[in-house]
Copies of this chain bind each other. A is one copy, B any other.
Amino acid sequence: MIVNSTPEGSAPRRRSARGEAARERILHAAVEAFAKDGYQGCSLARIASEVGLSQAGLLHHFPTKEDLLAAVLEERDRLDTRRFLADGAEGIEILTALEKLVEYNTYLTGMVQSFTVLAGESTADLHPARDWFQSRYETVRTMIAAELRKGVERGEIHPDTDCTAIAAEIVATIDGLQLQWLLDPKKVDMPTLFRNYTTRLRTAIST
């Protein structure tokens, strides 16, 4: 429904420098607002005032609240993809890359919180982001599973490993740890807990 509502492949947006900056600022404020109150819990007026705009002014850049949500999700996709491809980890090295990602997320409280709230909300049947999250998880699982399989081919990983299952499990662990970390950052050392997990996983599936 909301996925690809702005085709990635379209021509580069021609906008004035000022307009581009406003768009960016709004986007950033939206991430923070979604994190603070969730999508349903925050108002456009609040986001607008955060960047020194009126509500109507904001709606000039994003015609509806749902458009703003879509833009936030795309932005996240863009960042994640870039970061993930940049790493270029292959085979079992994917685990190390994920450890780094989790470590890195510690510094992105807003983004992580925003996505934890949105992901939870999105399981509601009619939520505008449901389709996006569904296909996103599918994609991420597939990507990780593919690398694990490459690890099997290379002889790094034991052949009778259920790569699909492990992929889902890894993603689950990351999400679950994020939730506990957000609720209690002082008591939950997310990166360490995840490394604890991957270390055990590594020895279990390595040849």
A interface residues with partner B (beta carbon < 8 Å)? 35-38, 40-41, 113, 116-127, 130, 133-134, 137-138, 141, 162, 165-166, 168-169, 171-177, 179-180, 182-184, 187-188, 192-193, 196-197, 200-201, 203-204
Interface contact A116-B125, CB-CB below 8 Å: no
Return the contact of A121 from the options B41, B133, B173, B192 (Cβ within 8 A).
Answer: B41
Known: A117-B124, A121-B41, A196-B162. A137 touches B180 (CB 8 A): yes
CB neighbours (8 Å) of A182 from chain B are 123
Q: Quick one: closest B residue to A183, CB to CB?
A: B134
Interface contact B172-A123, CB-CB below 8 Å: no
What are 25 A-B interface contacts by the 8 Å CB criterion? A36-B125, A38-B38, A38-B40, A38-B121, A41-B121, A41-B124, A117-B123, A119-B179, A120-B120, A120-B121, A121-B121, A134-B183, A137-B180, A137-B183, A162-B196, A165-B193, A168-B177, A168-B180, A168-B188, A168-B193, A169-B193, A172-B179, A172-B193, A175-B179, A203-B204
Question: Given the complex of chains A and B, what is the CA–CA distance between A123 and B110 in angstroms?
Answer: 11
List the number of copies, as a whole number: 2
Interface contact A116-B126, CB-CB below 8 Å: no
Known: A174-B176, A176-B176, A184-B137. A120 touches B116 (CB 8 A): yes
CB neighbours (8 Å) of A183 from chain B are 122-123, 130, 133-134, 137
Q: Other CB < 8 Å A-B pairs besides A141-B180, A168-B177, 18 of them?
A: A38-B121, A41-B124, A116-B120, A117-B120, A117-B121, A117-B123, A118-B120, A121-B121, A123-B182, A133-B183, A134-B183, A138-B187, A169-B196, A171-B176, A172-B180, A173-B173, A173-B176, A175-B179
